[in-house]
Structure 1
Amino acid sequence: MGFTLTKKRFLIWKTVMMVVAGLVVGGAIKLFWPEHYFAWFPFIPLYFYIFGWYYIFMFDYCRKYTPHKLLSVYMGMKFVKMVFSMIILLFYVLHVKVHKEDFVLTFFLFYLFSMLYESIFFFVFESNLKIKLKDKKEKNG
């Protein structure tokens, strides 16, 4: 599958968001609360970035081949992200056991960043799609 305009925009903005959020949050922790910085910090923005790639490829595949199931795929991907995130948190808390509270709090913060970005992106996507369909309908009469 190629890179559609939607996929390109999603990935560009997801990259910008994860890099900026990673640098700002990581920098703030190191600068203001160095005792709360943990070695696994870079994994968190990377996890959400990689999941974003999977997310947009699944969404694009569904948009092309089963467009009537877009809402189901969107909600399903939200559920999958939540389950994988809980598994990662559980693994970290039970096996790594270093800075548990810091990891969970930081992970949750990135989870919220990611959910907010994806929700806004797809709200704008759906709004633009509705406008295009309305214009097409008016043009065809």
Structure 2
Amino acid sequence: MTITKRNYLLQTTLLTVLVGGIGGWAYYSVNPHHYFGGYPLIPLFFYIFGIFMISMTENCRHHIPGRMLQIYLLMRVMRMLASIIVMLIYCVIVREESKGFLLTFIANYLIYLIYDSWFFFTFEANRKMKKKKENETIA
């Protein structure tokens, strides 16, 4: 396991615990009549998708590094489509709680989107900085 993957998994686990545990407790405390029993499954969905995303990114980085951007964008599109499908299925099956579910799901989507964007941006910036230092050392 690479350092990048380990850091991503640790940070994503922490984010999931915070959003799932503390966020769920706060949501239930502030707005108990809109809280729904499936709330902990939302951060779990994004956590599982994050594991898939970092695994695919790491695999691409080792085998086809020239396609990193395409794979990253593909993962973003896949997460968006999977999220839309989950939201639609939930709204069709459970109609009473759909408004609260949609707002909560979208809020979690944005939280994980911001986190992933920050993580991969800093990863790419650090990678470019290391490459620049290596080039300067060689020259």
TM-score range, shorter chain: over 0.9
Query: 1:97, CA displacement in angstroms?
Result: 1.7
Partner of 1:102: 100
TM-score scaled by structure 2? 0.98
Partner of 2:3: 5
For residues 15-34 of structure 1, what are the structure 2 equivalents within 5 Å? 15-34=13-32
Partner of 2:129: 131
For residues 102-137 of structure 1, give each alpha carbon's deviation from its aligned partner in whole angstroms, at most 9, with x where no partner exists. 100000011001110100001100110011001000
- Aligned residues between the structures: 139
Query: 1:99, CA displacement in angstroms?
Result: 1.0
Partner of 2:72: 74
Letter in 1 for 2:81: V
Select the residue among 108, 112, 115 that pairs with 1:114: 112
After superposition, the CA RMSD in angstroms is 0.7
SS of 1:101's equivalent in the other structure is helix
Partner of 2:50: 52
TM-score scaled by structure 1? 0.96
SS of 1:36's equivalent in the other structure is coil
Q: Aligned partners of 1:55 and 1:8: how far apart in 2?
A: 13
Question: Which contiguous aligned blocks of 4+ residues in structure 1 show a shift greater than 2 angstroms?
Answer: none
Q: Percent same amino acid at aligned positions?
A: 39
